Structure 1
Amino acid sequence: MTDLYDVPALKRVHDILNVLSDAAGPVRASALADATGMSRSTLYLMLDSLERRHWIEKRSDGYIIGLTLFELGSAYVRHDRLHELFRREAAAFVAVHNEVVQLAVLDGAQIVYIAREDAARPVRLVSDLGSRLPAHCCALGKALLASMDDSGVCALLPTRLEPITERTVTRRADFLKQLDEVRRSGLACEREEVSSGLTCFAAFIGVTMLGKRVALSTSLPLERLDARREKQIAVSIVGMASRIGEALRSTSR
């Protein structure tokens, strides 16, 4: 979308919320003014209006994202029965394997995490809801991009891919070879391409009736993985994605 069609008030709201969503704690009005370039008078009017609607909340001497935004955003995964189906399947997976399950959508050249079912034991993750990763470096992104043809993938990705770790694939030609393998096997995986010591397995679910291209994954430390367990988890991930995809397709018939 070009700036020609921007509504100034909505752009200001978007800028404020972007700053708050990236912050680890409350953000002062002065910091918001610096980050957004708004005048103090305009900023305070916007903050007051957003606070009254509970889109943001005042905490100590700053602002955070508000409860209303959480409620509105949660509607994204309630549509298409996606949330219901994911929770049911993910809970069953966690009961058997005791590993986390994550759900993500493709947004341009990035994936966005939209749901997660946690295991009983901790694992360090970057998959907070709403967080993003470059699609080329993670198993979820590979599963999602493999559902497209190479021309569509090349239209999204640059020739040189930005590394996240030293194991991230950076040549587009090499990445396209990986996608071919994902298409053949139905399983995407990565080892330490996002975080040292972690591996991830993912499978494509499908495109929902509202046009969401979705996939799911599990992440676990390499120290908890051997050949037998890898096969069990891979089969479970592919089966889980297939069942959710079939259920989604049946609701749209």
Structure 2
Amino acid sequence: MRSLETFSLQLNEMNDSNSAVPAVDRADAVLQILASSSEPVNTTELARQTGFAKSTLYLLLASLEQRRWIEKKGGGYVIGLGLYMLGCAYVHFDNLQHIFRTAAAEYVAMHNEVVQLAVLQGGEVVYLAREDAHRPVRLVSDMGTRLPAHACALGKALLAQLSDEEVLKLLPTELVAITDRTITRHEALLAELAAVRRSGLALDQEEVAAGLNCFAVYAGETPTGRRIAVSTSIPTDRLDGEREKAIVQAIVRVAGQIRQRLSAHA
């Protein structure tokens, strides 16, 4: 029987943040490559990017395919249905998906504009859900899409919940410009976040896409501690002063409804 001292030592080693499980790391490396590609990736390219031996890679791909985490397509591999289903559990937990859909559907029915839900991960926002309008709009907010938090309204709404010190630690030293209107100076971003804290409203005025304005509001924290925000994105040519006021009031109501319903399920 192992001694308590030996067991404690092994437990500490397992909890060491520098330790890792090689098989998990290898699977993650492959999945990250597939997730970032818009086309199937073949084994030759996967071997080149990962540096894995062909024998190791083939065994790994077979295991991932068996679990339906990846699928063969054409001459390569893509993310599979099984992994998508696991990912969907993220928004179903906490009843978040239902709560969002209910509040967003009311907004879309009244204003016929899209509503989006996102969470902060590092220096990026990750889109969790979207309720579409009944007309086309140019967006990049499919579920799982990431955007730099400093550039979009959702990111600003979420960053505003942190202190300036936390924001600076979270963001890269160089803020990337997506359009010529994207904020790229940390001082300017912190000043805008201060304004968001005062008003409760975050704006993206053509900072992610030319001709597109976004309005975002912090929607609270789920019972498991996930901070979320909602936004609506509207082409500039569909906005005037009166409609902008109505849109802002409406997205504030959506955030309030989500916060209230999350509290009821806590």
Deviation per CA, 1:11-51: give whole Å up to 9, x if none. 11001111111111211111111111111111100011111
SS at match of 2:150: helix
Instruction: Please name the residue that 1:72 is paired with.
Output: 86
Percent identical: 54
CA distance in structure 2 between the aligned counterparts of 1:3 and 1:148, rounded to whole angstroms: 24
Q: Aligned-pair distance for 1:164?
A: 1.4
Instruction: Please name the residue that 2:5 is paired with.
Output: none
CA distance in structure 2 between the aligned counterparts of 1:244 and 1:223, rounded to whole angstroms: 29
Rg larger for: 2
SS at match of 1:122: coil
Alignment of 1:39-188 (within 5 A): 39-158=53-172, 160-188=174-202
**Partner AA of 2:155 in structure 1:** G
Matched, 1:8 2:52: no
Matched, 1:195 2:209: yes
Q: Aligned-pair distance for 1:151?
A: 2.0
Deviation per CA, 1:113-165: give whole Å up to 9, x if none. 01111111111111121111110110000100111222221221245422211
Instruction: Please name the residue that 2:264 is paired with.
Output: 250
CA distance in structure 1 between the aligned counterparts of 2:261 and 2:104, rounded to whole angstroms: 14
CA distance in structure 2 between the aligned counterparts of 1:226 and 1:127, rounded to whole angstroms: 24
Contact 1:159–1:171 at 8 Å: present in 2 too? Answer: no
Instruction: Give the unaligned 5+ runs of structure 1.
Output: none
Contact 2:125–2:148 at 8 Å: present in 1 too? Answer: yes
Contact 2:123–2:172 at 8 Å: present in 1 too? Answer: no
Instruction: Give the unaligned 5+ runs of structure 2.
Output: 1-14
Report the CA distance shift for 1:18/1:176 in structure 2 as closer, same or farther (over 3 A): same
**Partner AA of 2:197 in structure 1:** R
Deviation per CA, 1:139-198: give whole Å up to 9, x if none. 000100111222221221245422211111111111111111111111111111111111
Contact 1:136–1:142 at 8 Å: present in 2 too? Answer: yes
**Partner AA of 1:247 in structure 2:** R
Instruction: Please name the residue that 2:6 is paired with.
Output: none
SS at match of 2:18: helix
Report the CA distance shift for 1:49/1:123 in structure 2 as closer, same or farther (over 3 A): same
Runs of 4+ aligned residues of structure 1 deviating over 6 Å after TM superposition are none
Contact 2:68–2:81 at 8 Å: present in 1 too? Answer: yes
Contact 1:203–1:238 at 8 Å: present in 2 too? Answer: yes
SS at match of 1:136: coil
Contact 1:111–1:140 at 8 Å: present in 2 too? Answer: yes
Deviation per CA, 1:68-121: give whole Å up to 9, x if none. 101100000011111111000111111111111110000011100011111111
CA distance in structure 2 between the aligned counterparts of 1:211 and 1:205, rounded to whole angstroms: 12
TM-score (normalised: structure 2):
0.91
CA distance in structure 2 between the aligned counterparts of 1:60 and 1:137, rounded to whole angstroms: 36
Instruction: Please name the residue that 1:237 is paired with.
Output: 251
